[in-house]
Chain A
Amino acid sequence: MTWRRGTRSVLEVVVFLGLAVGLWEIAVRMTDLPKLILPGPGDVASVLTNSWRSLLRSMLATMQIIGWGFLLGSLSGFLLGILIRYVAFFRRMLHPIASMVYVIPKSVFVPLFFLWWGAGPTYKLLVIVLLVFFPVMENTIAGLQSVGTDMVDLSRSLGGNRFLTFRKIELPTSMPFVLAGLRLGVTEAFVGAVIVELIIPHSGIGSQIVLAGSQGNTQYILAGILVIALFGIASYQVVARIERRLTFWY
């Protein structure tokens, strides 16, 4: 039942998008807009069919960085979240500082990291880590704090030591929060990769878009955005599905 409803809403969206694309094509043909300002869907489609190879290659290069950055960022955010929750020093000293860094747009660090680590993957990776790190850390802290004291007291009174209580009660209870943080982190990872490649166009899909922009190749920009969007939505769906599977009770 739910499956059928799901299929129907997907169909609806597809029909709606098809209509929108059709209207766009008609509008572009009726008016005499130059291709530089607004190419039609047909132009974008021809870019996709002609240069899908180079688009895919640069997108996969970006995806590699995104994957590593997401992994490192979420791992460090998770670990630091645990430390901030349980160690007073981290909570009082590090948490406010991390919150302040969070408010600073991370793009300003791109030239600095590039200066320090050069043209390798490190400078990209660090920016993505910085972006992914924060939502995961905040959600880990919130999740661990959501554990009621009565549950902890119960475990302690039954003879569970600190670590056992953490492993059996606090960690599972915080999981829905952590996984929600990971879902936010995926979006942030894509933002980070695009930002880095836009500011210092060195490699990857973002630099391709910048290059197309400087050549006045608007249809290539749109095709690039479309590819990023597809990969972004797919990655988000994968993580959201894992989240639902792992927190079926929630």
Chain B
Amino acid sequence: MSAEVQTIRQGLSLRGIPSSAREPVIGFALIILVWELIARFFIEFPVLLPSPVVVWGALTENWSLYLRETGYTMFEVLFGFVAGFLLGFLSAVGIFYSPLLRRFLYPVLLGARIVPKAAFVPLFVIWFGIGVSSKVALASFGIFFLVLVQTLLGFRGLGPELVELGRSLHMSERLMFVKMRLPAALPAMMVGVKLSITYALTLVVVAEMAIASNGVGWVIIEARARFQTAEMLAGIVMVAVAGLFLYELGGWIERRTTFWNVDERP
């Protein structure tokens, strides 16, 4: 009897999908099914909500366009991320070693973190135009504050007893930085990296949707202007995929760089 139940259970289970992912997968399938049914039977005007099948058709029909524009977006995000990270990290080191700068600048930086960086889009357009460079600049500008604050937080995390130990061993400051301060700061820095890599996508897409001449956000806005809702939704799907990819990338970077810190990781 129980063996029978067992086989039925196994027959029903979705093989190949890890058990933790089963329910969300079913949930997603249900959402798409309900969406399809609503779009097919209840929505009078398809422009309001095209069905998933139609959206998929729009995506595959202009596949090269979506791929190219998402490529632009990803390039802007990654380039902006690297530039912003380097700027933020180097500034953090500078501020950390200069008590004067730390004292005056730190509160200002904390305040600056609260200001929505998206408000700077028109300014960056005036400075850098509507192409790739303004979005790279905006992304690195936004990330800069996040990385800077997180890195400073990380430097602070090194306990005074370890600093004393280093001093008593006559370690040079350079050696102490490489062997103690940097590893101690890495977990907090990587939280900053993980947050900022998706944050860069947010900023780039906003800029593309506000004023731009390329990128997947621009595709969405262009489709909206022509009331092509299916094309718009296809663009949203591409952004979602990019977001998930970048989130996973951030997690991967965190795992690779702070592999020893498995338990502490949020």
Which residues of A line the B interface, CB within 8 A? 9, 12-13, 16-17, 36-37, 92-94, 96-97, 100, 103-112, 114-116, 187, 190-191, 193-195, 198-199, 206, 209-210, 212-214, 216, 218, 221-222, 224-225, 228-229, 232-233, 236
Question: A108, A198, A222: which contacts B118 (Cβ < 8 A)?
Answer: A198
Given the complex of chains A and B, what is the CA–CA distance between A175 and B205 in angstroms? 34
B40 located at the interface, meaning its Cβ lies under 8 Å from any Cβ of chain A in the complex: no
* Known pairs A213-B211, A233-B114; A16 contacts B125 (CB<8 A): no
1/0 contact trace for B196-237 toward A, CB 8 Å? 001001100110011100000100110010000100110110
Q: How far is the CB of A210 from chain B (nearest CB, A)?
A: 6
Contact (Cβ within 8 A) B123 A198? no
Instruction: In the A-B complex, list the 10 residue pairs whose CB atoms are closest, starting with the nearest.
Output: A213-B122, A96-B24, A16-B104, A111-B224, A105-B202, A92-B23, A229-B115, A194-B116, A103-B243, A103-B247
Which A-chain residue is minimally distant from B105 (CB atoms)? Answer: A16
1/0 contact trace for B113-151 toward A, CB 8 Å? 011101111110111000000000000000000000000
Q: How far is the CB of A127 from chain B (nearest CB, A)?
A: 11
Which A-chain residue is minimally distant from B120 (CB atoms)? Answer: A225
Q: How far is the CB of B31 from chain A (nearest CB, A)?
A: 8
Given the complex of chains A and B, what is the CA–CA distance between A83 and B28 in angstroms? 19
Given the complex of chains A and B, what is the CA–CA distance between A228 and B224 in angstroms? 28
Residue of B209, B236, B246 with most chain A CB atoms under a 10 A cut-off:
B209
Given the complex of chains A and B, what is the CA–CA distance between A103 and B23 in angstroms? 19
Question: B23, B47, B235: which contacts A108 (Cβ < 8 A)?
Answer: B235
Contact (Cβ within 8 A) A108 B205? yes
Q: How far is the CB of B19 from chain A (nearest CB, A)?
A: 10
Specify the main secondary structure of chain A where it touches its partner: helix
Given the complex of chains A and B, what is the CA–CA distance between A109 and B205 in angstroms? 11
Which B-chain residue is minimally distant from A206 (CB atoms)? Answer: B119
Question: A12, A116, A195: which contacts B103 (Cβ < 8 A)?
Answer: A12
Specify the main secondary structure of chain B where it touches its partner: helix
* Known pairs A97-B28, A103-B247; A115 contacts B119 (CB<8 A): no
Chain A contacts for B118, CB-based, 8 A = 191, 194-195, 198
Contact (Cβ within 8 A) B217 A96? no
Which B-chain residue is minimally distant from A131 (CB atoms)? Answer: B202
Which residues of B line the A interface, CB within 8 A? 21, 23-24, 26-28, 31, 47-48, 103-105, 107-108, 111, 114-116, 118-123, 125-127, 198, 201-202, 205-206, 209-211, 217, 220-221, 224, 229, 232-233, 235-236, 239-240, 243-244, 246-247
Chain B contacts for A36, CB-based, 8 A = 126
Question: A12, A107, A232, A236: which contacts B217 (Cβ < 8 A)?
Answer: A107
Chain B contacts for A232, CB-based, 8 A = 114-116
Contact (Cβ within 8 A) B27 A93? yes
Which B-chain residue is minimally distant from A209 (CB atoms)? Answer: B122
Question: B24, B108, B115, B236: which contacts A225 (Cβ < 8 A)?
Answer: B115
Given the complex of chains A and B, what is the CA–CA distance between A36 and B120 in angstroms? 15
Knowing that A109-B236, A236-B114 are A-B contacts, what are 17 other residue pairs whose CB atoms are under 8 Å apart, sorted by A's residue number? A9-B107, A16-B104, A16-B105, A103-B243, A103-B244, A107-B202, A108-B217, A108-B239, A111-B220, A191-B118, A195-B116, A206-B119, A210-B122, A210-B211, A213-B211, A218-B123, A222-B123
Given the complex of chains A and B, what is the CA–CA distance between A148 and B103 in angstroms? 39
Question: B23, B221, B232, B244: which contacts A199 (Cβ < 8 A)?
Answer: B221
* Known pairs A199-B221, A210-B210, A236-B114; A104 contacts B239 (CB<8 A): yes
* Known pairs A107-B217, A108-B235, A195-B206; A37 contacts B27 (CB<8 A): no
